[in-house]
Amino acid sequence: MLDMQFKYKRTIEFLELQKPFSPQVVIILGSGLGDFAESINTVKSISTSDIPDYPVSTVTGHSGKIHFSIYKDVKILLFQGRIHFYEGYKLNQCMLPVFLAHQLGCKTVLLTNAAGGVNPNLTPGDLMLNTSFNSIFIKKELTGLLGLASIEIKNQQIDFPSSRLEQIIKKAAVEENISLKEGVYWYGKGPSYETPAEIKMTSKFGGDAVGMSTAHEAIYALSLKMEVASISCITNYAAGISTEKLSHDEVTATANLVKSHFERLLKRIITYLD
Ligand code: HPA
C-alpha cells in the first residue's frame, strides 16, 4: 500500500506553509468548468507548477491552479483543473487533490466533471447528480493503492452521494430553478472517446453518462471518510447516441454555455455547507 504521506511530504509541507486558512470544502472543477474559480472571492491562488511534486496538467481547459477561496463565509479549496489517468499519470497522482484536501482539513468533497450523455434522456447542457459510479476498470490499481480500504468500500453500502450532500444539492437545484438530472457516472480510462459499441455496452450495464475522471477520486475520498458528491455537466451525446462527431472543443464549448447555470448551482450548494 502506497504511503501518500511519505511520497508527498514536500507537497504537504509547502501547502501547510502557503495556506491562508484551513479549508472546509474542496471542489474539483472539471473540463471547461474552471471559470467558476473567478466567480468567487479568491484569497490566494497557487500555480500547480509551483507546488513540489505536483503533476503538470496537460489538458486544454484545465488551467493547473489551486485557489483558497471564500464564498458566503465557507472556506473552499478549489482545484481548477485535475489530473487524469489518461495523461499517463499514476492513479496515486490523480488522487493527489483529494489527498491534499484531506491533509489540509477538508471534510466535504464536491467533484464536478464533463461527461457524455449515454441515457437518451440526457441532453448536452444538462447537469446530472451522480447517483453511483462504475470503477471496474481501475479496481486493480485502486486495490493496490488503498489496500483493503477499497475492497471494504466496495463491500459495504457506501454513502454516495452523501445523503446530506444529496439533499443540499437537490434543494439548491430547486431553488435555482435548475432541472437537475440524476444518473450513474461510468468511468472510462480514455484517452480516446468511446466507440458506439462501447457506449451500447455502457448503457446495457446501467451507465447514464460517461467520463474519464471522478470515480477514483470519489473512492479515495470515501476511504478517507470524507463526505462526497459529484455532478456531471453533460457536454455531448456519447458516441453513437447522435451522429455528431465528438471533440474536446465541443466539450468545452457546451461547458461554457452552461457556465452560468453551473455557477449558480454550485454557489447555492455552498451556502448550505457550513
Ligand atoms: N466520453 C468520455 N469522456 C467525456 C465525454 C465522452 O463522451 N464527454 C466529456 N468527457
> Mean pLDDT, the chain, as a whole number?
91
C-alpha 210 – ligand 1 centre gap (Å)? 6
Reply yes or no on whether the pLDDT at 271 is more than 80. Answer: yes
Backbone torsion region of residue 81, taken as left when φ is above 0, otherwise alpha when ψ lies between -120 and 50, otherwise beta: left
CA quadruple 14, 28, 141, 198: dihedral, nearest 10 = -150
Say what the pLDDT of residue 139 is.
75
Query: If you compute the radius of gyration of the chain from its CA atoms, what whole number of angstroms results?
Result: 17
SS3 38: helix
Ligand 1 neighbourhood includes 209 CB (under 6 angstroms): no
Confidence label for 223 from pLDDT (cuts 50, 70 and 90): confident
Grid coordinates representing 79?
A: 482545484
Query: Which tens digit of pLDDT belongs to each residue from 154-181?
Result: 666 788 999 999 999 999 999 999 999 9
The residue whose CA is least distant from atom 3 of ligand 1 is 211
Ligand 1 neighbourhood includes 251 CB (under 6 angstroms): yes
Contact 54, 96 (CB under 8 A): yes
Say what the pLDDT of residue 267 is.
97
The residue whose CA is least distant from atom 7 of ligand 1 is 116
Q: H or E stretch including 115?
A: strand 108-117
SS3 83: coil
Query: Which tens digit of pLDDT belongs to each residue from 59-81?
Result: 665 568 999 999 999 999 999 98
Average pLDDT of the residues in 21-32:
94
pTM assigned to the model: 0.94
Say what the pLDDT of residue 255 is.
81
CATH of 4-271 among 3.40.50.720, 3.40.50.1580, 3.30.460.20, 3.40.50.2300:
3.40.50.1580
Nearest by Cα to 181 from 87, 261, 89, 263: 261
How far apart CA 179 and CA 109 sit, in angstroms, is: 22
Say what the pLDDT of residue 161 is.
95
Ligand 1 neighbourhood includes 126 CB (under 6 angstroms): no
Nearest by Cα to 269 from 166, 183, 125: 166
